[in-house]
Amino acid sequence: MPELPEVEVSRLGISPHLQQQRIEKVVVRQRQLRWLIPDEVLQINQQPVLDVTRRAKYLLIHLPEGELIIHLGMSGHLKVVPQSTAAGKHDHVDIYLSNGLMLRLNDTRRFGAVLWQTKDSVHTLMTNLGPEPLLGDFHGAMLLAACQKRSSAIKLVLMDNHVVVGVGNIYANEALFQAGIYPKMPANQLTAEKAELLVQVVKQILAKAITQGGTTLKDFSQTDGKPGYFAQQLLVYGRGGEECFSCQTELKEIRLGQRSTVYCPQCQGEH
């Protein structure tokens, strides 16, 4: 599943092609994605693109009358191609631009979404979201306050979009390892010192992943381009049963919230 860095790299990749352009029309071949594509999307016509932003894992294309919302779901990806490019089996949505190109959504499993948000309103999917992890309102004191109210495992709290958005399973595993925090530790046992450290580690890991992903930007303008996952330098995720890079202890793998969780018993403790 695309996580926050992949979505941000998608935004960086498509933005240069959309800025200062008009959306001439939207062609939908499969209207039933995770949710039915609303009529407002089908009616977009000659609308200038004002901006391309991201909130959590949602991409927002800002237009005068509202925002076109795109979510990549489990398998979705975007590419920018000439308007003459033939559509493939899973190319469900084409957004035609005034520069002769189009933004194409390919989604094999159809868990993605293309939605509409009227100007000056907030779509229900984006209400009650926590702060962006790379911005200033995600800080140690804020995380500590959120954790003091929760006794569930710290990893689950870190992945809760009501607490902070966009810290998916891969990055939660990595951040807890680098901060030396046991994933099953009750969140209300987090100290102020560890909260500050965890916030800084999350910011560093996500920023590094976005920087690494920047090398795939060329793929967005190739007909057969599929950005997908970029090279990751992972310390624990996917390495259960292997040696810890830091202390050579065997990494353990458990399930938390039905998600794979890998940790080092020595570096992160088991208490």
Please, which residues have CB within 8 angstroms of residue 187's CB and are 6 or more apart in sequence? 146, 147, 148, 150, 151, 152, 153, 154, 156, 157
Catalytic residue, chosen from 2, 5, 133, 183, is 2
| Whole-angstrom distance, CA of residue 21 vs CA of residue 47 | 9
2 tagged catalytic: yes
Catalytic residue, chosen from 3, 8, 67, 174, is 3
57 tagged catalytic: yes
79 tagged catalytic: no
Catalytic residue, chosen from 40, 203, 259, 265, is 259
Catalytic residue, chosen from 11, 54, 55, 57, is 57
DSSP string, the chain: ---HHHHHHHHHHHHHHHTT-EEEEEEES--BSSSBPPHHHHT--SEEP-EEEEETTEEEEEETTEEEEEE-TTTEEEEEEETTPPP-TTEEEEEEETTSEEEEEEESS---EEEEEETT---GGGTT----TTSTTS-HHHHHHHHHT--SBHHHHHT-TTTSSS--HHHHHHHHHHHT--TTSBGGG--HHHHHHHHHHHHHHHHHHHHHHGGGGGGGGSTT----PPP---SSTT-TTSBPTTT-PBPEEEEETTEEEEE-TTTS---
| Whole-angstrom distance, CA of residue 57 vs CA of residue 149 | 25
Kindly list the catalytic residues.
2-3, 57, 259
